[in-house]
Amino acid sequence: MLKKILKNKYWQDGEPFVWATGAALTLILVLTFALLFVIVKNGIAVYWPADLVHFEMEDGSAYLGEVVQTTDDEQAGIRHQVKIGNRDLYPLDFKWLTEAHIQQKTAPREAVLLERSAYGNFYGYLAGLELPSLEVPATDNPWARFKSALAALGPGLEELQDIQAELSTLNAQVERLDGKIAKLVYHDKEADPQMAALQRRKESLSQEFQAHVSRYEVRERDLMANTALFEDAGGRQQTIALMSVIRAYRPNDMSPVAKTGIYLRKVWELFTAEPRESNTEGGLFPAIFGTIMLIFIMSILSFPLGVLAGIYLREYAREGLLVRLVRIAVNNLAGIPSIVYGIFGLAFFVYGIGSSIDQLFFPEQLPTPTFGTGGILWASLTLGLLTVPVVIVATEEALGAIPSGLRESSFALGSTKLQTLTRILLPMASPGILTGFILAMARAAGEVAPLMITGVVKLAPALPLDATFPFLHLDRKFMHLGFHIYDIGFQSPNVEAAKPMVFVTTLLLLAIVITMTSSAIVLRSRMKKKFAITND
């Protein structure tokens, strides 16, 4: 019976096979687009100012906030998850409200959303202003007065920032002096006249530092005194220092144009500002910077290394058992789990090379490690190790794909091996090499596991590249988008509040990877056009 069915013309023609191949491709496409859709949908809407809804409940309580999601199940009926914020007043900043228990829903125009530097968002109504150190003309419109008070705060905040910048410069100078002093102590030159000079200098710097600190404190106290009184939905009052308000707006009273303005400003903040509120708010600049710099250093290290090794394997090494074994080893290296690379990086780079560097060049700093701890250099080297096999294989295959006739013609014209390589083979192999390399880069950009033990941190105090000497600080720890996703998504104390940021970070990382791969495709097609061999 079965035999008869299989003998059927329909099976013989392979029609079912065509369907199976098509179905497999469709399944993959559906999964990919579903993933992209979820990330894009959730990521793009995060910064759009949602309307604030005022809920009056049957039991007399009232809530104000943004509806995050609405569910409908048979037991509980329709329920809304509302972000009510006000972490300084309530134990939880999210609340589930059952539709059946809601008496009234309104969208009051005067409902205010405050983005604050601490305690997250505040949702409430403006009740009063206390401005002892700001001169803001009184008007009938308290909201307008509040806004102009916020604007009037600007110069004071800038002054504080300036003092902070001076403080960090002083701090760096003191640290350098400490280093010099430690060096002298280490070499038993405490009696050196230089020592006394250094100590005096440090003393005067410390005094200057203290003076700045007290100036900062005075100014800060002064500004902190300017407060606004807010009422939450239930009428509880909360005094909020104007200084802690980053942005204040009334979403229910805004036109789409004004909302777009807020949206764009927040996107700009995402790219340029530092994170706040244990990374759940604010920008991602240090993480973007860290990710790009990591990939950059990794490329500088691994690209030449991989290409050179690939050239040797294909062009110079004599084909034999040893070369075959090396080739198998290289191919297998590409398949080793990345965490293993991380452990190797920790043992070899951090504890091995890093500790040796510390003992040789920074002995006075010990036991505080300089290079003997995770840092961007070691993380880049570890990722480089991870991508090198891919580059080697890509180089080898690209070189191997060039017809041998071209090599022979080049040699027959009297060129040396090196000339043949640089003038004929490498230009022709470059599309293949670059494609392989950029794909490896995309993989490295998304890699998290090996970074976690070689230098990534959830919050880095300083960028690995800045204005203080020697500008490039390869020993510094850094932030990374991939680790950021893991950290805020799974290690955050307030997972619900961090969720939007997880989507935004994922979207950003995805955008970086897609940009890199599509540039690889463009590059490849361009170079293929230039170096393609056509035969008729």
User: Does 414 help bind other proteins (rule: CB under 8 A)?
Assistant: yes
Near other proteins by CB under 8 A: residue from 403, 466, 521, 522: 403
Near other proteins by CB under 8 A: residue from 51, 158, 175, 408: 408
Whether the Cβ atoms of residue 246 and residue 116 lie closer than 8 Å to each other: yes
Near other proteins by CB under 8 A: residue from 412, 461, 471, 493: 412
Near other proteins by CB under 8 A: residue from 204, 416, 491, 525: 416
**Contact region with other proteins (CB under 8 A), list: 329-337, 367-375, 386-394, 411-419:** 411-419
Q: How far is the CB of 401 from other proteins (least distance, A)?
A: 13
Q: Count CB neighbours of 30 within 10 A.
A: 10
Which one, 226 or 420, has the nearer CB to other proteins? 420
Which one, 249 or 531, has the nearer CB to other proteins? 531
User: Does 114 help bind other proteins (rule: CB under 8 A)?
Assistant: no
Q: How far is the CB of 433 from other proteins (least distance, A)?
A: 15
**Contact region with other proteins (CB under 8 A), list: 68-76, 159-167, 202-210, 408-416:** 408-416
User: Does 525 help bind other proteins (rule: CB under 8 A)?
Assistant: no
Distance CA(198)–CA(149), nearest Å, equals 46
Q: How far is the CB of 533 from other proteins (least distance, A)?
A: 6
Q: How far is the CB of 325 from other proteins (least distance, A)?
A: 18
**Contact region with other proteins (CB under 8 A), list: 173-181, 188-196, 405-413, 448-456:** 405-413
Q: How far is the CB of 534 from other proteins (least distance, A)?
A: 5
User: Does 319 help bind other proteins (rule: CB under 8 A)?
Assistant: yes
Cβ within 8 Å of residue 499, ≥6 positions away: 489
Which one, 99 or 408, has the nearer CB to other proteins? 408
Distances (CA, A) of 275 to 65, 131, 287, 483, 513: 23, 29, 9, 14, 22
Q: How far is the CB of 403 from other proteins (least distance, A)?
A: 7
Near other proteins by CB under 8 A: residue from 413, 469, 471, 493: 413
Give strand ranges (E) for 204-297: 227-231, 237-241, 245-249, 275-276, 281-282
User: Does 424 help bind other proteins (rule: CB under 8 A)?
Assistant: yes
Whether the Cβ atoms of residue 478 and residue 457 lie closer than 8 Å to each other: yes
Task: Find the binding residues for other proteins in span 259-318 (CB under 8 A).
Answer: 318
- In one-letter notation, the amino acid at residue 39 is I
User: Does 69 help bind other proteins (rule: CB under 8 A)?
Assistant: no
Closest CA to 307 of 242, 390, 234: 390
Q: Is 102 exposed, middle or buried (0-12, 13-18, 19+ CB in 10 A)?
A: middle
What is the DSSP-derived secondary structure letter of residue 236? -
Could you give the string, one character per residue 427-466, with x where binding to other proteins holds by CB under 8 A and - elsewhere? xx--------------------------------------
* Buried-state track 301-336, b at ≥16 Cβ within 10 A, e below 16: bbbebbbebbbebbbeeeeeeeeeeebeebeebbee
Could you give the string, one character per residue 23-62, with x where binding to other proteins holds by CB under 8 A and - elsewhere? ----------------------------------------
Q: How far is the CB of 177 from other proteins (least distance, A)?
A: 57
- Site of tokens 């009428």: 235
Q: What is the 3-state secondary structure (H, E, C) of 252-269?
A: HHCCHHHHHHHHHHHHHH
Whether the Cβ atoms of residue 54 and residue 110 lie closer than 8 Å to each other: no
User: Does 534 help bind other proteins (rule: CB under 8 A)?
Assistant: yes
Distance CA(35)–CA(43), nearest Å, equals 12
Q: How far is the CB of 435 from other proteins (least distance, A)?
A: 17
Distances (CA, A) of 175 to 38, 76, 375: 48, 61, 19
Q: How far is the CB of 440 from other proteins (least distance, A)?
A: 25
What spatial distance separates the first Cα and last Cα of the chain, rounded to whole Å? 51
**Binding-site residue total for other proteins (CB under 8 A)?**
27
Whether the Cβ atoms of residue 343 and residue 453 lie closer than 8 Å to each other: yes
Contacts to other proteins by CB under 8 A: 318-319, 403, 405-416, 419, 423-424, 427-428, 530-536
